[in-house]
Amino acid sequence: MGDDIRDLFFDPNHPTLLGGCARAASAEEARYRVQYPNSRARTSRIFALDAAAAEVMYGVTESPWNGAHFLTLSTTATIDPEATPAEALPLAHPDGAAADLGRELDGADVVVLLATRGDSEGAAEVIAREAFHRKIMCAGLALAQDQQDHAVDRVVNSMRRFASVLVVARDNDFVPAMLTALRA
Amino acid sequence: MLRKEVNDLLTQTDPGTPMGDMFRQYWIPALLARELPEDDCPPVRVKLLGERLLAFRDSHGRYGLIDEFCAHRGVSLWFGRNEEGGLRCPYHGWKYDVEGNCTEVPSEPAESGFCEKIKLTAYPLIRIGDVLWTHMGDKDNRPPRPEWEFATVPAEQTYTSKRWQECNWLQAMEGGIDSSHVSWLHSGSLKSDPLFKGARGNQYNQNDKKPVFEVVEADGGLFIGARRMAENDQYYWRITPWVMPSFTMVPPRGDHPVHGHFWIPIDDENCWAWSFDYHPTRALSTEERQAMIDGYGVHNQYVPGTFRPRQNKDNDYLMDRDAQKRGETYSGVWGIAMQDASLQESMGPIVDRTKENLVSTDNGIIMARHRLRKAAVALRDKGTPPPGRDIAHQMVRSAARVLPQDQPFKDAMKDDLTVRPGVKQTSV
Ligand code: FES
Ligand SMILES: [Fe+2]
């Protein structure tokens, strides 16, 4: 293309497709969009990293999700990521049954970490490490409802190194909104 | 994915709809000031939020935005005579002032006072910067006059354009907060566009194609941060503010002017894409201004005499497959504005969001929809005024900066993200 865009616009030989876009972009044509599904069910794994995050998560686990698993840490002890291999991370399903991190992540499409506090960095690292090995996207959601700014910064910092996208949400109702949007 | 009823809620802005009521809470850009260049100039048809209106400037320099149609027998007042302090319908001579009051009904005796019974809907039209703004909501609930920085800096520091976009406002606006498309769709333009090229920050963009996103809520909307690796293990941050309902700013590059947008519904299937470029502390150079007029950067070229882009769906946006193959443009469409618009229009007039498959990097969009929906519902159910009306919410800037890894951008860049008169933008 020449430096001057007018060369392009005034080029009489410029190929166009005779206005196919005009018809294709019309409301009438929108009706003919293929109606079959364009995706299969996802495998989402949502981890609450602390007790308050787990409370928020339990509030939505009852909804009909498309195969999402909701997991909590079944310990309040600090996790040392160096000393904790994946299989040693104590995880539980909402009904209390133990869960195994490796098995949960096999074939998963996305990992979502929920946190309200900044002291679960160790657990976040263990989960994110496993996700990273499997090339699974890891999203961090810092729940800031009723929290001071500096507390939220700690939450964000605890996940920043691991999350490929990080959201600071002021209200807990973003959790179901995000999971719905992601077809969890 | 968005359920159909939520998609309808967010995309419909006619009178009486929740989102329409929400847009009517704000001062919104209605026309460029240059569309009404002098007293008694020709009136201009304006359709906003599904209402057909007519803008004019009377003999005394007053601006008005009134119902397009004469109350007598429904003629478009676009044919009217703009003279002697009002707009006269050419059919039977009824005359209206800028507030929509009927001031003369020639067939009736003046003493009868008949004309006092006639009143067209009218909205205020005020000039701030290059833009005429209107508030289409309740006059007893008028927000403070807008103070966006691009509109309040001296005239020589700013340039604004608008273009007609043939799709719903929301899918257009979502493009403005969808930071992850820039490395793809606009990759060719970063190197060549006179209003983008040459900034050091561009190299970070090229070197690290997988930015990491952080979405942080703000009082007026959101800050969407995209970070890439810079030297010495630092992060190169680009922060896009979004202020409700539809203001966005693009993070700056070098000392180039800063740009941003408003997305304003015309009706549910059309919107105005407003684009501005300004520098907080210096005049735009002659070359910069000419580049904007010529359609570079976020601006575009027009079908002469209209606000319709010269590249539009009737000419397939002048799709150039050879340029696409050569890598000069990523999509084959020339220019940043039309690269966006062509794709957004291709989604159809109102995209069916039940079919989307969003991924975690779409969280800026997910959060924006969430905020819009909550605000529209709170307004509808409780009368809560939505965010973005306060002047403080409008005092935002985009910014780009290199930071150590452990510093949250929201704190470290707090000043950079705030309008500081006389201080230039923070940019790399
Ligand atoms: S890749 Fe995003 S719309 Fe197709
Ligand atoms: Fe874009």
Question: Does B40 score more than 80 pLDDT?
Answer: yes
Q: What is the pLDDT of residues A160-178, one digit of tens each?
A: 888 989 999 999 999 999 9
What does the longest C-alpha to C-alpha distance in chain B come to? 83
What is the model's pLDDT at position B428?
94
At B237-265, the pLDDT tens digits run 999 999 999 999 999 999 999 999 999 99
Residue of A165, A170, A175, A183 to mutate for B, most B C-beta atoms under 10 A: A165
Q: Which residues contact A49 (CB under 8 A, 6 or more apart)?
A: A73, A113, A114, A115, A117, A120, A123, A124
Gap from A168 CA to chain B (nearest CA, Å): 5
Which pLDDT score is estimated for A10? 45
At residue A1, does pLDDT exceed 50?
no
Q: How far does the CA of residue B304 sit from the closest CA of chain A (Å)?
A: 12
Nearest to A165 among B212, B328, B405 (CB): B212
C-beta separation of B174 from B208 below 8 A: no
Q: Across chain B, what does the average pLDDT equal?
A: 96
Contact B349/A at CB under 8 A: yes
pLDDT at position B82 over 80: yes
Beta bridge partners of B135: B27
Spatial contact of B222 and B367, defined as CB atoms under 8 Å apart: yes
Give strand pairing partners of B125: B134
Q: Is B147 on the interface with A (CB under 8 A)?
A: no
B21 and B27 Cβ atoms separated by less than 8 Å: no
* pLDDT for B234 beyond 50: yes
Give residue B199's pLDDT band: very low, low, confident or very high (50, 70, 90).
confident
What pLDDT is attached to residue A151?
87
Q: Given the structure tokens 């039209």, which residue do they identify?
A: B125
- Residue of chain A minimizing CA distance to B2: A181
In order of B260, B325, B330, B331, the CA distances from B321 in angstroms are 29, 6, 10, 8
For chain A, give the mean pLDDT: 89
pLDDT in tens, A33-84: 999 999 999 999 999 999 999 999 999 998 899 999 999 999 999 999 999 9
Banded pLDDT at B189 (limits 50, 70, 90): confident
Q: How far is A84 from chain B (nearest CA, A)?
A: 24
Closest approach of A73 to chain B, Cα-based (Å) = 23
pLDDT, tens digit, 9 for 90 and up, residues B302-336: 999 999 999 999 999 999 999 999 989 999 999 99
Residue of B nearest to A152 (CA): B408
Place of tokens 């940019």: B427
Chain B residues 372-411 with a CB less than 8 Å from chain A: 374, 405-406, 408, 410-411
Q: Tell me, what's the ipTM?
A: 0.91
Q: Given an 8 Å threshold on Cβ–Cβ distance, is A38 in contact with B345?
A: no
pLDDT at B215 over 60: yes
Exposure pattern of B103-116 as b/e (b: 16+ CB <10 Å)? bbbeeeeeeeeebe
The reply to whether B213 touches chain A by the CB within 8 Å rule is yes
Confidence class of residue A136 from pLDDT cuts 50, 70 and 90?
Answer: very high
Q: Do residues B130 and B32 lie in contact, with contact meaning Cβ atoms separated by under 8 Å?
A: yes
Domains in chain A: ranges and CATH: 1-35 (no CATH), 44-181 (3.40.50)
Gyration radius of chain A's alpha carbons: 23
Query: A147-161, B313-327, B385-399: which has the highest mean pLDDT?
Result: B385-399
Q: Which of B78, B128, B85, B123 is nearest to B104 (CA)?
A: B85
Site from A65, A138, A167, A170 to mutate, B interface, most B CB atoms within 10 angstroms: A167
CB B37 within 8 A of CB B56: no
Nearest ligand, measured from the Cα of B190: 2
Q: Ion ligand 2 — residues with CB under 5 Å? A: B 340
Are the Cβ atoms of B320 and A168 closer than 8 angstroms? no
Are the C-beta atoms of A170 and A143 separated by less than 8 Å? no
Q: Nearest CA of chain B to the CA of A87: how many Å?
A: 26
**Pair B328, B182: CB distance under 8 Å:** no
Backbone angles phi, psi at B293, to 5 degrees: -65, -35
Cα–Cα distance measured from residue B377 to residue B371, given in angstroms and rounded to the nearest whole number: 10
Of A1, A16, A153, the CB nearest to B411: A153
- Give the residue from chain A lying closest to B332, CA to CA: A1
Given pLDDT bands bounded at 50, 70 and 90, which one contains residue A18?
low
Q: Cβ B314–A22 below 8 Å, yes or no?
A: yes
At residue B1 the predicted structure's pLDDT band, cuts being 50, 70 and 90, is: very high
**Cis amide bond preceding A15, omega within 30:** no
pLDDT tens digits, residue range A89-106? 999 999 999 999 999 999
Say whether B315 and A164 touch across the interface (CB within 8 A). no
Which ligand approaches the C-alpha of residue B178 most closely?
A: 2
Q: Do B215 and A27 touch (CB under 8 A)?
A: no
Kindly tell me if the per-residue pLDDT of A6 is higher than 70.
no
Q: How many CB atoms lie within 10 A of CB B122?
A: 20
Q: Which of B1, B167, B320 faces A180 most closely, judged by CB atoms?
A: B1
Cβ-defined contact of B362 to A181 (cutoff 8 Å)? yes
Reference A173, options A63, A42, A20; nearest CA is A63
Place of tokens 């009486």: B16
Assigned token pair, B121? 């809907």
Using CB atoms, pick whichever of A164, A168, A183 lies closest to residue B215: A168
Choose among B347, B402, B423: nearest CA to B165. B347
As given in the structure block, the two tokens for residue B401 are 């900066």
pLDDT of residue A2: 43
B184 C-alpha to center of ligand 1: Å? Answer: 10
| Entry pTM | 0.94
**B302 near A CB under 8 A:** no
Residues of chain A positioned with their CB less than 8 A from the CB of B320: 1, 8, 14-15
Closest CA–CA distance from residue B409 to any residue of chain A (Å):
10
Alpha carbons B369 and A177: distance in angstroms, whole number:
9
Q: What is the pLDDT of residue A4?
A: 55
Average of per-residue pLDDT across B70-84: 97
Least confident of A155-159, B122-126, B230-234, B398-402: A155-159
CB pair distance less than 8 Å for B363 and A15: no
